[in-house]
Amino acid sequence: MIRVAAVADVHFGADSAGRLRPKVPVLSVLGNHDYHSCQEADVRKAMEGAGVRVLEGEAEVLEVAGVRIGVAGVKGFCGGFTGAATEFGEPEMKAFAAAARSAGESLERLLREMEADLKIALMHYAPIEATLVGERYEVWPFLGSDRLAEAVDRGGADLVLHGHAHAGSERGVTAGGVPVRNVAMSLIKSSYGLFTLEAPVRAR
């Protein structure tokens, strides 16, 4: 069995030193706060300087106990569920919906192309509505997009990890049966959530 520790929305600041001990290896995606001041490249550089591998439209395959674990990472985007945002109308709406589509396409490609025994989809925004329950319903379209869940089901994954929905719910599943876990720190009320994945049995 392979154990994976995950946490999201740690909201680190100058007074955050010592809140989390480093884990090795550490993979991450950026969130909406990291983009707010248009300095996401600097945020990434600082994180990678501290030994945290940042994934955005990228994948990493790690070998643990002889098992290849692939992690596909995208920030994702909002846009809502059941076709809430479509690429129709004003240029602003087209761009908004296109960002969600692009994130989904990137995630699907990464999952399909990874050569791994176990695959994890890592994102900031939520891919399903179930892990948003507890948040105000009117903000759901800004917390995630079903384009991400569609990508997971088409690309194939064993586990989905996301954050962003601080007051949402911890557990859900995609339409294709892939488990989804919301690991926002304020929700799980722990330094991390721990998940166990069954390693595949290889033919001898």
For every residue of the chain, DSSP letters joined together read -EEEEE-B-----TT-TTSS---SSEEE---HHHHTTS-HHHHHHHHHHTTEEE-SSEEEEEEETTEEEEEEEE-----BSSS-S-S-SSHHHHHHHHHHHHHHHHHHHHHHH---SEEEEEESSBSSSGGGBTB-GGGGGGTBBHHHHHHHHHH--SEEEE---TTS-SEEE-TTS-EEEE-BHHHHTSS-EEEEEPPPPPP-
Q: Is the residue at 144 inside a domain?
A: yes
Domain harbouring 55, CATH code: 3.60.21.10
Q: Is the residue at 14 inside a domain?
A: no
pLDDT in tens, 27-83: 999 999 999 999 999 999 999 998 899 999 999 999 988 899 999 999 999 999 987
In the prediction, which pLDDT does 65 show? 84
Q: Is the residue at 135 inside a domain?
A: yes
Q: Is the residue at 202 inside a domain?
A: no
Q: Is the residue at 121 inside a domain?
A: yes
Q: Is the residue at 72 inside a domain?
A: yes
- When divided into structural domains, the chain yields a total of 1
Q: Is the residue at 116 inside a domain?
A: yes
What is the residue range of 121's domain?
2-7+24-197
Q: Is the residue at 106 inside a domain?
A: yes
pLDDT in tens, 83-96: 778 899 999 999 99
pLDDT in tens, 93-148: 999 999 999 999 999 999 999 999 999 999 999 999 999 999 999 999 999 999 99
pLDDT of 11 strictly over 80: no
Q: Is the pTM of this model over 0.85?
A: yes
